[in-house]
Amino acid sequence: MESYKDGDNPLAEARHELSNVVVPLLKGVVYQEESPEIWNGLLKLQAGVRDYVAVLGLDLLLDEAEGYAFLQSRQQEEDSAVIPRLVARRQLSYPVSLLLALLRKKLAEFDAGGGDTRLILSRDEVVELIRIFLPTGSNEAKLIDQVDTHLNKIAELGFIRRLRGQKHMIEVRRIIKAFVDAQWLAEFDQRLAEYQQQLDPARELSDD
């Protein structure tokens, strides 16, 4: 039987390399700019990662152009055995969903204009984005507090990040494109009308 010294077992080394990539993915999104070593390992072991996470009922979504990767639960066939969900679905409130949609639309407009690849917004700009969809006469201080709360939730989900040393500035992360897709944006006006009715039913009644 062939024996190996510590650290010379190729099988153990391959498993170690795979673990170094899969474990971060199981914890959340992997970004090229934040974790270049893990990212390079992911590109190298991409096929093996896909096979490994498939056993767990997960799919790897990797966008080399945008520089991010994450895992999502695989859609199951109706007649297939049910696999426990490892990646939980999260129910978002209307304001958070609305703000996500507005940020995604802003990113689409930003990309269409060319130029910089990073969309940076101030909290005041975010407030203006959502203001027209809130009830008339909303308290300004309360509105800002609510926006901060919603932004904190969106930051937890990984769709934005606050700039270091500039707590009122955010960067819209490009992974938002994977969750709010082009088809969704095509129906944007209809969805915004639905959000307005949810957020301001009194306005609809007054129009009648």
Joined tokens for residue 73: 């639960």
Using only C-alpha atoms, the chain has a radius of gyration, in whole angstroms, of 21
CB 49 within 8 A of CB 42: yes
Domain 94-207 has CATH 1.10.10: yes
CB 25 within 8 A of CB 70: yes
Task: Please state the rounded mean pLDDT for residues 50-75.
Answer: 87
pLDDT in the model for residue 80: 45
Task: Please state the rounded mean pLDDT for residues 8-36.
Answer: 84
Task: Please state the rounded mean pLDDT for residues 15-33.
Answer: 88
End-to-end CA distance of the chain: 85
Q: Give the closest residue to 122 by CA, choosing from 101, 137, 144, 104.
A: 144
> How does pLDDT run across 167-203, given as a tens digit for each residue?
789 999 988 888 877 666 666 667 667 666 665 554 4
Domain ranges of the chain: 10-73, 94-207
**What is the spatial distance between Cα 40 and Cα 173, in angstroms, rounded to a whole number?**
20
> How does pLDDT run across 152-161, given as a tens digit for each residue?
988 888 889 9
Question: Are domains 10-73 and 94-207 of this chain identical in fold?
Answer: yes
> How does pLDDT run across 124-134, given as a tens digit for each residue?
899 888 877 76
Task: Please state the rounded mean pLDDT for residues 130-159.
Answer: 79
Task: Please state the rounded mean pLDDT for residues 14-35.
Answer: 87
Q: Is 179 exposed, middle or buried (0-12, 13-18, 19+ CB in 10 A)?
A: middle
**What is the spatial distance between Cα 47 and Cα 62, in angstroms, rounded to a whole number?**
11
**What is the spatial distance between Cα 38 and Cα 44, in angstroms, rounded to a whole number?**
10
Domain 10-73 has CATH 3.40.50: no
> Residue type for 97, please?
S
> How does pLDDT run across 99-111, given as a tens digit for each residue?
888 898 899 889 8
